[in-house]
């Protein structure tokens, strides 16, 4: 699909959007809806009470409804990315995408609305009438010049923030990038010569913001499809003519001679490499058209190795894209109930972003994005969207600016507490998983997919390879190639396939395994048969022989069978292996163990599982709080069979470990710190437990499987801990996405993601 470092086929992009529930968003209830009483409260008659309260005092809508955290992403599809006017319906994938980015990066609930009109007045009326529903309006992909009229009128008519993302979001990020690129090349904003290509929503707003920040008007040449916008043109509307200059240059090529900066907000391929050669030394080239930039970074660098190059895409260095802005800007604006997003807030956001890029990058982000290049410099002028610090830094700067400039209706009294609240807002597990993916890309490994013929496994292997996460090594017969073709891979020879029928490695595998098992009751011919016929044995032997760095299996046979087969070849790390399931909730993550291996663990085993699960939690960015879970709580009801759990707690007492643990207790108590304080003030947990050590495999596995069946992909794992080499055994129900995650985690180390 592109020449960048992230490749995918069109079929994969369609499959991504169509699989499971079509599209990218769903709505979930934030209150229980289980009983008659819940219904009475949520709907008639209970709902009448907040209705009356809001009618009396409209401000209480923020207390009794979702308004305060709800943003509408609204488009008419007249300028979808750089693809042009493709209509309202076609813009829906982008708008859904923006909605999920709001949620993912800043926990803002967002809903997409596509309005089927090119009449600005109808658009304005429709949006204005929807004001009561939302805490803010994010306008998106509406072409100039209508977008200017639409936004301006709506800002005047509505009492909530109205923000045209393509204008101001883009301008904020561009300004941040430009500040830093100038700093790196020793330029002053007051003297840089800028060429802006494009004269639409994004280009006009970027130009206005950089002029407001000190770039001189006569140093900016703007171009549209007809070339340079100069004072002699008579085809200009009021927005373009505001930026017309007195010049005899007529084409983009002329305009670029001697220019310091190129800002591209136009269309794919609009900048020819040969024109870049005439720019000033160390030119700054922001080619921001999406999805394909005006010039690709390799082309720009080939023409000008001294250039600082940025694009709107996530798969090249320096992503100058409004995704760095809108989620965090709205977060700050909503949190102070700002009436508007004004210039002070925009400039504060730009400066916060620019400053953040100049700060040392935390180790885990740096490692995840490939180490050294994540230091302020030509390939890192702007933070990356997955940087977890953005959610603290940008909303705080925006909220403070809103308060300073008098638009905050609910000022924040304790800024330190607000920052803390922002830090906790995103589930750290989700960030760590994202970081684990980035770490895999930075240090790609070879991962054996033992069940190479399976379509699901192949989908995962394709995504793993094409996503730049590593090299899949597929174990299977020749039909693997046919299946790859069926899944849209035109040239399957790019995939490594190991077939135990004809692989030259079989002999070494047999020798190795025979040496290991000959005194454990195995004859050589049995070993030969196992290596030839059992994919797990063959794959594990390949892992053992160093043909790959990690291995994934599990989708074609029960977990215990796969485990036995793999364990026979590679063995454990000296302690009993066990499984951890990760339950990823909206605001918390809970680990459950042992969900995979030991049916009736002894007290000693339970204590060891607790210690190793706590270490795993730390790697996922969680400070461990372990509860030994039971249907009894601190001996009540008496006489129940909970001896092992209680003894495990005593064993940990004797070992002086460095994490909190308590038990035995029921799961609802373990997960509620309030209940712990109220009923069991002696409990040693300082918050809700995030690790539940279950009394046995039955309860552990049942809980995880039940949650998975009810909650879908929000249950990850079980991750296998304690094998001597990195092997992960997926549940038979694993989706391709689950398998990719397991492969990423297996490649990251035996026990999952490491925070470096």
Please give the residue ranges that form the binding site for ligand NDP (CB under 6 A).
79, 81-82, 143-144, 166, 170, 197-203, 223-226, 265-267, 270, 288-290, 312, 320-322
User: Using omega within 30 degrees of 0 as the cis cutoff, is the peptide bond preceding 718 cis?
Assistant: yes
154, interface contact from ligand CC(=O)C(=O)O, ligand NDP, Mg ion, none, CB < 5-8 Å by kind: none
Stretch that binds Mg ion, among 21-29, 161-169, 626-634, 667-675 (CB under 5 A): 161-169
Whole-angstrom Cα distance, residue 455 to residue 538?
20
Residue 203 or residue 576: which is nearer to ligand CC(=O)C(=O)O going by CB? Answer: 203
8 Å CB contact between 147 and 164:
yes
Stretch that binds Mg ion, among 134-142, 541-549, 669-677, 745-753 (CB under 5 A): 134-142
Q: Where are the beta strands (DSSP E) in 54-166?
A: 70-75, 109-114, 136-139, 162-164
Q: Is 459 helix (H, G, I), strand (E, B) or coil?
A: helix
* Strands 496-498 and 589-593, sheet pairing: unpaired
Burial 287-326 (b: 16+ CB within 10 A, else e): bbbbebbbbbbebbbebbeebbbbbbbebbbbbbbbbbbb
Q: How far apart are CB 165 and Mg ion at their closest, in Å?
A: 6
- Residue number of the CB atom closest to ligand NDP: 200
Residue 141 or residue 662: which is nearer to ligand CC(=O)C(=O)O going by CB? Answer: 141
* φ/ψ of residue 269, rounded to 5: 70, 15
* Catalytic annotation present for 240: no
Residue 137 or residue 742: which is nearer to Mg ion going by CB? Answer: 137
Q: How far apart are CB 241 and Mg ion at their closest, in Å?
A: 24
The contact set with ligand CC(=O)C(=O)O (CB under 6 A) reads 81, 141, 165-166, 290, 312, 321-322
Provide Rg for the chain, Cα atoms. 29
Q: CA dihedral in degrees (326, 328, 333, 335; nearest 10)?
A: 140
8 Å CB contact between 293 and 287:
yes
199, interface contact from ligand CC(=O)C(=O)O, Mg ion, ligand NDP, none, CB < 5-8 Å by kind: ligand NDP
DSSP 8-class letter at 315: T
DSSP 8-class letter at 499: -
DSSP 8-class letter at 169: I
Q: Does 141 bind Mg ion (CB under 5 A)?
A: yes
266, interface contact from ligand NDP, Mg ion, ligand CC(=O)C(=O)O, none, CB < 5-8 Å by kind: ligand NDP
Name the catalytic one among 24, 67, 98, 240.
98
User: Using omega within 30 degrees of 0 as the cis cutoff, is the peptide bond preceding 223 cis?
Assistant: no
Residue 321 or residue 676: which is nearer to ligand CC(=O)C(=O)O going by CB? Answer: 321
Q: Is 536 helix (H, G, I), strand (E, B) or coil?
A: helix
**How many residues sit in the footprint of Mg ion (CB under 5 A)?**
2
Q: Does 166 bind Mg ion (CB under 5 A)?
A: yes
Q: Is 406 helix (H, G, I), strand (E, B) or coil?
A: coil
Whole-angstrom Cα distance, residue 120 to residue 143?
11
Q: How far apart are CB 321 and ligand CC(=O)C(=O)O at their closest, in Å?
A: 5
Q: How far apart are CB 4 and ligand NDP at their closest, in Å?
A: 15
Q: How far apart are CB 164 and ligand NDP at their closest, in Å?
A: 9
224, interface contact from Mg ion, ligand NDP, ligand CC(=O)C(=O)O, none, CB < 5-8 Å by kind: ligand NDP
Q: How far apart are CB 595 and ligand CC(=O)C(=O)O at their closest, in Å?
A: 41
225, interface contact from ligand NDP, ligand CC(=O)C(=O)O, Mg ion, none, CB < 5-8 Å by kind: ligand NDP
Please, where are the H alpha helices in 405-454? Answer: 415-425, 428-442
* Strands 578-584 and 589-593, sheet pairing: antiparallel
Whole-angstrom Cα distance, residue 188 to residue 172?
18
Q: CA dihedral in degrees (669, 671, 675, 677; nearest 10)?
A: 110
Name the catalytic one among 43, 455, 485, 631.
43
Q: How far apart are CB 291 and ligand NDP at their closest, in Å?
A: 7
Stretch that binds Mg ion, among 58-66, 136-144, 259-267, 630-638 (CB under 5 A): 136-144
Residue 165 or residue 453: which is nearer to ligand CC(=O)C(=O)O going by CB? Answer: 165
Whole-angstrom Cα distance, residue 646 to residue 627?
11
Residue 81 or residue 90: which is nearer to ligand CC(=O)C(=O)O going by CB? Answer: 81
* φ/ψ of residue 590, rounded to 5: -120, 130
Residue 109 or residue 141: which is nearer to ligand CC(=O)C(=O)O going by CB? Answer: 141
Q: How far apart are CB 107 and ligand NDP at their closest, in Å?
A: 21
Residue 201 or residue 551: which is nearer to ligand CC(=O)C(=O)O going by CB? Answer: 201
Burial 588-608 (b: 16+ CB within 10 A, else e): bbbbbbbbbbbeebebebbbb
Q: How far apart are CB 281 and Mg ion at their closest, in Å?
A: 33
DSSP 8-class letter at 6: -
- From residue 9, alpha-carbon distances to 13, 16, 349, 489, 738 in Å are 6, 11, 36, 9, 20
* Catalytic annotation present for 43: yes
Q: CA dihedral in degrees (330, 332, 337, 342; nearest 10)?
A: -70
200, interface contact from ligand CC(=O)C(=O)O, Mg ion, ligand NDP, none, CB < 5-8 Å by kind: ligand NDP
Residue 290 or residue 500: which is nearer to ligand CC(=O)C(=O)O going by CB? Answer: 290
Contacts of Mg ion in 474-493 (CB under 5 A): none
- The residues carrying an active-site annotation are 43, 98
**Which residues make up the interface to Mg ion (CB under 5 A)?**
141, 166
């Amino acid at each position: 699909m592109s020449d960048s470092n992230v490749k995918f086929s069109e079929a994969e992009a369609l499959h991504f959007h169509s699989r499971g529930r079509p599209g990218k968003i769903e709505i979930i209830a934030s209150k229980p809806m289980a009983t008659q009483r819940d219904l009475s409260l949520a709907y008639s008659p209970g709902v009448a009470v907040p209705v009356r309260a809001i009618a009396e005092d409209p401000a209480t809508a923020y207390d009794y409804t979702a308004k305060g955290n709800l943003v509408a992403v609204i488009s008419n599809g007249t300028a979808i990315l750089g693809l042009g006017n493709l209509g309202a319906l076609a813009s829906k994938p982008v708008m859904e995408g923006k909605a999920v980015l709001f949620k993912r990066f800043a926990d803002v609930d967002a809903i997409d609305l596509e309005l089927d009109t090119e009449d600005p007045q109808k658009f304005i009326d429709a949006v204005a009438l929807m004001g009561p529903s939302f805490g803010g309006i994010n306008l998106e992909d509406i072409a100039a010049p209508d977008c200017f009229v639409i936004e301006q009128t709506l800002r005047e008519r509505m009492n909530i923030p109205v923000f045209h993302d393509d204008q101001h979001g883009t301008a904020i990020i561009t300004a941040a990038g430009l500040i830093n690129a100038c700093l790196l090349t020793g330029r002053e904003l007051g003297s840089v010569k800028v060429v802006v290509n494009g004269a639409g929503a994004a280009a006009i707003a970027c130009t206005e913001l950089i002029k407001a920040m000190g770039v001189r008007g006569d140093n900016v040449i703007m171009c549209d499809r007809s070339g340079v916008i100069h004072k002699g043109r008579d085809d200009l509307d009021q927005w373009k003519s505001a930026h017309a200059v007195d010049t005899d240059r007529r084409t983009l090529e002329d305009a670029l001679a001697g220019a310091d900066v190129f800002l591209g907000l136009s269309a794919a391929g609009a900048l020819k490499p040969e024109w870049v050669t005439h720019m000033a030394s160390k030119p700054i080239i922001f080619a921001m058209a999406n999805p394909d930039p005006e010039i690709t970074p390799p082309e720009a660098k080939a023409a000008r190795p001294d250039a600082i190059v940025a694009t709107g895409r996530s798969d090249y260095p320096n992503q100058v894209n409004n995704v760095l802005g809108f989620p965090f800007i709205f977060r700050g604006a909503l949190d102070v109930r700002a009436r508007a997003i004004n210039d002070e807030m925009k400039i504060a956001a730009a400066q916060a972003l620019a400053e953040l890029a100049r700060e040392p990058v935390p180790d885990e982000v740096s490692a995840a994005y490939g180490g050294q290049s994540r230091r302020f410099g030509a390939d890192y002028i702007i933070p990356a969207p997955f940087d977890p610090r953005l959610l603290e830094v940008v909303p705080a700067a925006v909220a403070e600016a809103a308060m300073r400039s008098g638009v905050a209706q609910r000022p924040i009294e304790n800024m330190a507490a607000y920052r803390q609240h922002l830090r906790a807002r995103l589930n750290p597990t989700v960030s760590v998983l994202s970081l684990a993916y980035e770490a895999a890309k930075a240090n790609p490994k070879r991962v054996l997919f033992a069940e190479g013929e399976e379509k699901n496994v192949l989908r995962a292997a394709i995504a793993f390879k094409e996503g730049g996460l590593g090299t899949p090594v597929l174990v299977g017969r020749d039909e693997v190639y046919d299946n790859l073709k069926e899944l849209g891979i035109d040239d399957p020879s790019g995939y490594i396939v190991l077939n135990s029928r004809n692989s030259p490695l079989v002999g070494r595998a047999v020798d190795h395994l025979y040496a290991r098992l000959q005194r454990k009751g195995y004859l050589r011919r049995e070993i030969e048969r196992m290596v030839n016929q059992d994919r797990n044995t063959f794959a594990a032997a390949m892992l053992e022989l160093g043909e790959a760095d990690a291995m994934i299996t599990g989708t074609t046979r029960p977990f215990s069978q796969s485990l036995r087969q793999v364990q026979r070849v590679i063995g454990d790390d000296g302690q009993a292996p066990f499984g951890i399931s990760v339950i990823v909730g909206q605001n918390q993550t809970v680990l459950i163990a042992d969900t995979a291996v030991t049916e009736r663990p002894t007290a000693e085993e339970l204590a060891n599982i607790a210690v190793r699960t706590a270490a795993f939690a730390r790697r996922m960015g969680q400070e461990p709080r372990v509860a030994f879970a039971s249907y009894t709580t601190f001996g009540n009801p008496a006489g129940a069979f909970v001896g092992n759990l209680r003894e495990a707690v005593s064993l940990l007492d004797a070992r002086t470990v460095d994490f909190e643990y308590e038990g035995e207790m029921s799961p609802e108590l373990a997960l509620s710190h309030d209940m712990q304080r109220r009923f069991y003030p002696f409990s040693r947990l300082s918050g809700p437990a995030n690790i539940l050590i279950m009394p046995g495999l039955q309860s552990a596995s049942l809980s995880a499987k039940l949650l998975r069946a009810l909650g879908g992909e929000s249950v990850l794992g079980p991750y296998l801990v304690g094998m001597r080499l990195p092997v992960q055994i997926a549940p038979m129900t694993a989706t391709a996405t689950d398998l990719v995650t397991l492969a990423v985690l297996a490649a990251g180390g035996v026990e999952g993601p490491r925070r470096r």
